[in-house]
A and B are shown apart, each in its own frame.
Chain A
Amino acid sequence: MDRRKRNEMIAYGLLWASGVSALVILIWVLAYIFVGGIPVISWQFLTTWPAGWGHTGGGIYPTIIATIQVTIISLLIAAPLSIGGAIYLTEYTKESLLRKVIRQGAEILAGIPSIILGLFGFLFFVIALKEYTGGWSILSGGLTLAFMILPISLRVSEEALKTVPLELREGGLGLGASKWQMIRTLVVPTALPGIITGIILGMGRAIGETAAILLTVGGAINIATSLQDPARPMTLNLYDVLTEYRDTTAAYGTAVILVIAILVITFVTDMLMNRYTRNLKGL
């Protein structure tokens, strides 16, 4: 009996330690980035261009713009596709072969390494569709990213739609609404926080992705004025300033902005999900 109690205490200790270690690892990583990065951040760093080619220093203004542009493009494509797909899966299909195939497809797509998506984006958008995408461009990069975030947003939206109570649908149909009216006015608004969470998660992935855009977005320091212009988002800039110039100052600054963006996104999705599940429990 004593030995059992002792073993349990040891096991509890180890489990607590591993739980805490996950937290410690996060703090460890963030601490380095913040301590090195925060002093770099200034209004000037955010709003000026990098020093000319071959020089270090200067700001990262064009790369921030590029990240925003590429992310918006990818969301404009991935959001409707994922929301529409999720609605189809939850509202229009029963457990069938089609549904299995679609779900399996999304799962496989989610597992494809981003560098493979990059290779594909390079062949498809940069080379095959060059006439429309302009080759290396924010459009090619955004489309490649859209394919990457599609399965994530699809999955989260689907889960959100599934939690909408059946009574709501029956009530809507019973009042004479058509199926689409019912979905548009009852199901989607109820699931909206979950759907938005899916989109924001996708946004986080798009902001942080590098490998998929390495081969598609071009990498020129440039503010794109059309969809067919190349650009260099922040992630790519972080990699480039490190490998080309060993410019750790600019790297710290870029990294800390990326990390802050991700932390805000995590915080918002966490809050949305908490409130959403609490609301549903209240129903």
Chain B
Amino acid sequence: MRESDVLSPEEQLSPKKPVSLNLSILTGARVRNIKERFIELFLLICAISSVLIIFLIIYFIFSQGLPFLAEVGPSFLTGSIWRPTDGFAAGTWGIFPIIIGSLLVTLGAIGIGTPLGVACAVFLAELAPPYMRRILTPSINALAGVPSVVYGFFGLIVIVPWIRDQFGGFGASVLACWIILAIMILPTVISISQDSIRAVPREYKEGSLALGATHWQTIRSVLLPAASSGIVASVILGMGRAIGETMAVLMVAGNTVRIPVSVTSPVSTLTAQIALEMAYASGAHREALFAMGIVLFVIIMILTGAANLALRRRI
């Protein structure tokens, strides 16, 4: 074998026609690289679209409502007379009774829905035999999926006449809202509470049982306290759902701008009032409704923040 037959390492690394070949591989890689980059950018845009949408929402709602809020001032929130259209004292903007209505309706729904929802969550996480869980889980999903307008319809044909027969009055009332909203927030309270009860470390439960506590004592004094921040979060999120609910409330509340004197009085909420009056509002009236939207938005943001804080403290 002659020495010239053997390629030196340098020759091996740079064969006769290497340049174009190498370049083609390089450009191929670069094309692929550019494509990859482009895809990544597209996906990034998809991902940040939610954030962009929130800014759009804030911008549009606030640009319509803020100037009005600034002009009317704090009396918008504290005034108790709401006369948007023509007639006596037209242009009197006070939404205090509407805010009270929203809060009242929400707190009542929470009052009814929380004990039931948390108990149901405990049942599902600790007690339910598998067949019950297989029935209940999709049932709760179905409850969450029923359209709010169908709940409103149900309230109108079942709850409202029942209240009218039992307690007198119109039937469309605070109580009707409580019942319907309590049903509507159940799925939220159940699913998040259940998650946080399941998230409690096994050792806690085993330790408690090993110390001689009964299962119920363990649930009451170990599992529930350990899951408490998650349960609190579920209640706050339920509040958010209740205060933001529009159609069902609109259909069973009676929509009267007056602070209710009893649970059978009609009531008005921010959401229902906006939905009801946007149909024909114009000019300052419309701006006032956007200002009400701002109030609602701020309340929801506070609730979301509070729920986040509670969830962060979860074990």
The residues of A with any CB-CB pair to B shorter than 8 Å are 4-5, 7-8, 11-12, 14-16, 18-19, 21-23, 25-26, 29, 32-33, 36, 80-89, 92, 101-102, 104-109, 111-120, 122-124, 128, 147, 150-151, 154, 178-180, 204-205, 207-211, 214-215, 235, 238-239, 242-243, 248, 251, 255, 258-259, 262-263, 265-267, 269-270
Contact B61 A120 (CB under 8 A): yes
Q: Which residues of A contact B57 (CB under 8 A)?
A: 112, 116-117, 120
Q: Which residues of B contact A120 (CB under 8 A)?
A: 56-57, 60-61
Interface residue B119 (Cβ < 8 Å from any Cβ of A): yes
Residue of A nearest to B127 (CB): A15
Interface residue B297 (Cβ < 8 Å from any Cβ of A): yes
CB contact between A122 and one of B35, B136, B278 (< 8 Å): that residue: B278
Q: Which of B238-264 contact A (CB under 8 A)?
A: 240, 243-247, 251
Q: Which residues of B contact A242 (CB under 8 A)?
A: 153, 156, 251
Q: Which residues of B contact A118 (CB under 8 A)?
A: 275, 278
Interface residue B181 (Cβ < 8 Å from any Cβ of A): no
Contact A15 B49 (CB under 8 A): no
Q: Ordered nearest first, which 5 A-B pairs have the shortest CB separation?
A: A113-B244, A84-B46, A208-B147, A18-B119, A105-B51
Residue of B nearest to A36 (CB): B157
A151 vs B51: C-alpha distance when bound (angstroms) = 10
Given contacts A88-B46, A113-B296, whether A239 and B60 have CB atoms under 8 Å apart is no
Q: Which residues of B contact A115 (CB under 8 A)?
A: 244, 246, 271, 274-275, 293, 296
CB contact between A109 and one of B53, B136, B243 (< 8 Å): that residue: B53
Q: Which of B281-305 contact A (CB under 8 A)?
A: 289-290, 293, 296-297, 300-301, 303-304
Residues 51-81 of chain B: 1 if any A CB is under 8 Å from the residue's CB, otherwise 0? Answer: 1011011001100100000000000000000
Given contacts A105-B54, A235-B247, 18 further A-B contacts (CB under 8 A): A8-B216, A19-B136, A22-B116, A33-B154, A84-B42, A85-B47, A85-B48, A88-B46, A102-B47, A105-B51, A107-B304, A119-B289, A119-B293, A120-B57, A154-B50, A210-B149, A238-B153, A258-B150
CB contact between B141 and one of A108, A209, A270 (< 8 Å): that residue: A270
